[in-house]
């Protein structure tokens, strides 16, 4: 640590201050129900007021951390929010779901919904995706003669896992910026881990717990056909997938290009630019907007959808920036080294630390995004001491941030109220799906870490 930039040099004061920040954050969010932006800002400011803190260095670390983090991902988060709005309104989600039904067969509708959730969760906020697909969940359960738990649990788990683990959704994207993780590698490895986790959630709902849940589907949606609504002009299958897959492929290609192409190769330079997330997501946004068929929607897309995207991204930007400030401040104290060395000396695998922080952040605040950003903020300064790669830390924290969705989670209540499960059934079904899916995803990350893939 550079002592000229140290916020505090006393290790005892640093550890006490660090502990108080975490405790106060948890109390403000869990007990007093403060909004996470204020709950994160106040402990940071109080840390700066402690005796022995170098105020000028503290302010510099706060501003540098906030600005540096948002400088990397601010525009990307906004573009991602805009693309989610376009996918939501153009019917692309329904088309993707229909393609999954064709892939696995209508008799395997729970699996089809799980796979659809895995894909759309990468681009759409989890609660929005479930709201859109809820009528299909009830109609399909009614047609197949199964309970709503069998039909919905895999979808609930898959959407949440993809939203938590696979960039460029806001949580893992912000965590990647905080940790300095390679986005292409994070997408490829995170997608693989998330797929295993999603299938585990499907098994939990299809065979282990779903059949025990007695709540039937609602008659309200009986006979409805969300996927072939004559009043909605749906885009083609390729057009529906393109806004999601093209940015993912380009960002991944940016990571692979230096390994396969020589320094002077023009294609390498082109891929490095096209794979820059700002360009890749801008292209995805353009492809999403090409799917607008209704003239009225074209007008809304220029104004109303932009406003909605800004509203969604504003909170994430502030939380992400504050997470960057906290990380920069902690990095300028001896607390980071002390915690990392203590954990390393404990004999536990280093990858457990971001996972545990992700679990704690989600369990207490109910927010997956807060869980993964908190894990990244706290672990980022410790990477070299822990011997963890940024990608391993990102995916471990993200896997933990879905465990467990229960009554303090807005996503839990959205899914529970729409599916009409009882609270007890939802905790068993949806809470269990996120637990099983998160653990299986983490085990997949651990395997890739052991093999040196991440």
pLDDT recorded at residue 47: 93
Q: How many other C-beta atoms are found inside a 10 Å radius of the C-beta of residue 423?
A: 12
User: Tokens 């510099």 correspond to what residue?
Assistant: 60
User: Tokens 């609270």 correspond to what residue?
Assistant: 423
pLDDT at 358 > cutoff 60? yes
Question: Comparing C-alpha atoms, which of 376, 191, 190, 182 is closest to residue 277?
Answer: 182
Q: How far apart are CA 125 and CA 188, in angstroms?
A: 20
pLDDT recorded at residue 427: 92
Q: How far apart are CA 429 and CA 293, in angstroms?
A: 38
The answer to whether 358 and 374 are in contact (CB under 8 A) is yes
* Residue 350 phi, psi dihedral angles, 5° rounding: -60, -30
Q: How far apart are CA 240 and CA 164, in angstroms?
A: 22
pLDDT recorded at residue 324: 86
pLDDT digits (tens, 9 = 90+) for 126-183: 888 898 888 889 988 988 899 999 999 999 999 999 999 998 888 899 899 999 999 9
Residue 239: which pLDDT band, with cuts at 50, 70 and 90? very high
| Over residues 105-123, mean pLDDT | 92
pLDDT at 365 > cutoff 80? no
pLDDT at 230 > cutoff 80? no
The answer to whether 46 and 143 are in contact (CB under 8 A) is no
Most confident of the following: 144-148, 154-158, 230-234, 261-265: 154-158
Question: Comparing C-alpha atoms, which of 5, 59, 23 is closest to residue 334?
Answer: 5
Q: CA separation (Å) from 277 to 262, 269, 284, 305, 376?
A: 22, 15, 10, 21, 20
Domain around 241: 3-450
Least confident span in 263-267, 335-339, 386-390? 335-339
Least confident span in 89-98, 336-345, 359-368? 336-345
Residue 434: which pLDDT band, with cuts at 50, 70 and 90? very high
pLDDT recorded at residue 4: 62
pLDDT at 228 > cutoff 70? no
pLDDT recorded at residue 12: 87
| Number of domains the chain contains | 1
Least confident span in 45-54, 136-145, 348-357? 136-145
pLDDT at 74 > cutoff 80? yes
pLDDT recorded at residue 223: 56
Percent of the chain scoring above 90 in pLDDT? 46
pLDDT recorded at residue 171: 87
pLDDT at 29 > cutoff 80? no
Q: How far apart are CA 323 and CA 399, in angstroms?
A: 18
pLDDT at 123 > cutoff 80? yes
Question: Comparing C-alpha atoms, which of 389, 353, 450, 400 is closest to residue 186?
Answer: 389
322 versus 200: which is more confidently predicted?
Answer: 200
Residue 2: which pLDDT band, with cuts at 50, 70 and 90? low
- The mean predicted confidence, pLDDT, of the chain is 88
pLDDT recorded at residue 221: 67
Residue 232: which pLDDT band, with cuts at 50, 70 and 90? low
Residue 103 tokens read as 């892939």
Q: How far apart are CA 277 and CA 412, in angstroms?
A: 31
| Over residues 385-405, mean pLDDT | 94
Neighbouring residues of 315: CB distance < 8 A, sequence distance ≥ 6:
36, 37
pLDDT at 226 > cutoff 60? no
The answer to whether 438 and 158 are in contact (CB under 8 A) is no
């Amino acid at each position: 640590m550079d002592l000229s930039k140290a916020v505090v040099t006393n290790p005892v004061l640093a550890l006490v201050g660090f502990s108080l920040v975490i405790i106060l954050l948890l109390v403000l969010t869990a007990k007093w129900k403060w909004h996470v932006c204020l709950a994160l800002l106040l402990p940071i400011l109080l840390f700066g007021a402690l005796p022995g803190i170098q105020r000028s260095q503290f302010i510099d670390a706060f501003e540098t951390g906030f600005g540096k983090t948002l400088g990397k991902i601010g525009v990307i988060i906004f573009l991602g929010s805009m693309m989610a709005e376009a996918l939501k309104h153009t019917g692309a989600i329904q088309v993707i779901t229909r393609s999954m039904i064709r892939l696995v067969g209508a008799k395997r509708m729970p699996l089809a919904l799980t796979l659809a959730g895995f894909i759309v969760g990468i681009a759409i906020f989890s609660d929005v995706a479930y709201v859109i697909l809820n009528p299909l969940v009830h109609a399909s359960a009614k047609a197949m003669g199964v309970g709503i738990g069998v039909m919905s649990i895999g979808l609930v788990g898959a959407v949440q896992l993809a939203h938590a683990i696979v960039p460029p959704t806001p949580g893992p994207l912000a965590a990647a910026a905080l940790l300095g993780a390679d986005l292409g590698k994070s997408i490829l490895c995170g997608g693989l881990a998330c797929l295993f986790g999603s299938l585990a959630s499907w098994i939990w709902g299809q065979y282990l717990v779903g059949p025990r849940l007695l709540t039937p589907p609602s008659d309200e949606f009986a006979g409805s056909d969300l996927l072939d609504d004559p009043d909605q002009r749906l885009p083609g299958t390729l057009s529906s997938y393109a806004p999601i897959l093209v940015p993912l492929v380009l960002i991944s290609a940016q990571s692979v290009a230096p390994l396969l192409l020589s320094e002077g190769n023009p294609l390498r330079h082109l891929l490095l630019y096209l794979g820059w997330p700002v360009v890749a997501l801008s292209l995805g946004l353009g492809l999403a907007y090409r799917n607008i068929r209704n003239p009225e929607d074209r007008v809304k897309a220029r104004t109303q959808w932009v406003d909605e995207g800004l509203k969604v991204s504003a909170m994430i930007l502030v939380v992400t920036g504050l997470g960057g400030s906290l990380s920069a401040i902690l990095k300028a104290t001896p607390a980071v080294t002390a915690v990392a060395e203590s954990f390393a000396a404990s004999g536990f695998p280093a990858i457990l630390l971001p996972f545990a922080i992700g679990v704690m952040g989600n369990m207490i605040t109910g927010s997956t995004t807060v869980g993964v950003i908190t894990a990244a903020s706290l672990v980022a300064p410790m990477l070299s001491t822990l011997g963890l790669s940024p990608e391993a830390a990102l995916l471990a924290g993200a896997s933990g941030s879905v465990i467990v969705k229960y009554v303090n989670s807005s996503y839990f209540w959205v899914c529970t109220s729409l599916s009409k499960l009882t609270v007890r059934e939802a905790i068993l079904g949806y809470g269990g799906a996120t637990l099983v899916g998160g653990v299986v995803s983490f085990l997949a990350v651990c395997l890739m870490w052991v093999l040196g893939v991440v």
